[in-house]
Structure 1
Amino acid sequence: MAKYDKADLERRMKGAVDALAGDLAGLRTGRASANLLDPVMVTVYGSQMPLNQVASVSVPEPRMISVQVWDKSNVGPVEKAIRSAGLGLNPINDGTTLRLPIPDLTEERRKELAKLAGQYAEKARVAVRNVRRDGMDNLKADENKKEISEDDRKRLEGELQKLTDEQIKAVEEEFVRKEKDILGK
């Protein structure tokens, strides 16, 4: 059994919050963002690759994303990957460049995106709590092996709970900020 390591637990909790920030960055809010295409995977050269490894993504206008595909033979697969990514975007093919106009969000689509953001936030909260549980298990094991006293275990459990509360609060702040952005409030 691993020994209690506060720095490792904190790193893992922060990793869950950072992953949430990345997931939320990919949600569309009605404005063009290069991050919108981060989750898109393209099947080229016989394998799945992130879009940013086969093309450069830029935002020339507030409601337009431009995708410059480096290899002309990959334009079709990139276009297909964007269409099938569930982002509601329809690429316009200009040779090796794909233009993606960002349509206005309907109220229904805004609610769907807010719900999806909530699911991402819940996934992050669960990840943070799982890290806390691992830490609590390590503390109990350390106490059982007589490596720490009961008082030390209780004190460290309090510190771990405080760290958990901070990270859950960070998850909540990320979610609320994105929800406001999506719902246009």
Structure 2
Amino acid sequence: MSDDFILDTDDIKRRMDGAMASLKTEFASLRTGRASGTMLEPIMVDAYGQQTPINQLGTVNVPEPRMVTINVWDRSMVSKVEKAIMNSGLGINPQTNGTIIMLPIPELNEERRRELGKVAAQYAEHARVAVRNVRRDGMDQIKKAKDQMSEDDQKFWESEVQDLTDTYIKMIDEALDNKQSEIMQV
């Protein structure tokens, strides 16, 4: 038996980091009652024959805690940006003044806060599933290379993958707790 097998833990970490980054992006799109330019990131506008992010069609600013403004560069795109925001499900009614679109952020009521908390929990569960899939891939690699390593090495690599998984699941749970407390803050 040769002990040549080395699991690429950097690749596993990179893939789990990707799940965390995706979760943070999804959390940023959840409205907490405070204005944030990141809440517009997932919205795509049908511009010039392709789907384009809002921040590539105008300047996004947060002039005050409950207001986001978009200064659209091309006057012909104003109505398309406005329509994309209305269809996004953010629950915001844009107000247009020339090429500037103002998005007043309303106070969240208790029911809406609970709904957002559930959405945040769903996002976190998707991230947990992604991390578990990466774990499964790592464990499969170890099983395939069973003949190339001793039993002790196999247990070592399995515990490495499990430790990484536990760390990332804990990070996801902490991020969810933080987001839910942020959402429930009045």
Aligned equivalents of 2:150, 2:111: Cα separation in 1? 55
Q: 2:155 corresponds to which residue?
A: 154
On the 8 A contact 2:29/2:38 being kept in 1, the answer is yes
On the 8 A contact 2:29/2:41 being kept in 1, the answer is yes
Provide structure 1 residue ranges, at least 5 long, that are not aligned to the other structure.
none
Letter matched to residue 105 of structure 2: I
Partner secondary structure for residue 88 of structure 2: coil
Aligned equivalents of 1:4, 1:141: Cα separation in 2? 11
Letter matched to residue 158 of structure 1: S
Aligned equivalents of 1:55, 1:176: Cα separation in 2? 34
Which of 52, 74, 79 is equivalent to 1:76? Answer: 79
What TM-score do you get using the length of structure 1 for normalisation?
A: 0.95
Number of aligned residue pairs: 181
Q: 2:9 corresponds to which residue?
A: 6
Root mean square deviation of aligned Cα: 1.0
Asked if 1:60 corresponds to 2:63, the answer is: yes
Which of 110, 113, 129 is equivalent to 1:107? Answer: 110
Q: Give 1:62 shift.
A: 0.5
Aligned equivalents of 2:60, 2:22: Cα separation in 1? 21
Asked if 1:177 corresponds to 2:174, the answer is: no
1:11-57 per-position Cα deviation (integer Å, ceiling 9, x unaligned)? 10111011101100110000101111111110010111111111111
Aligned sequence identity (%): 54
Provide structure 2 residue ranges, at least 5 long, that are not aligned to the other structure.
1-5
On the 8 A contact 2:7/2:157 being kept in 1, the answer is no
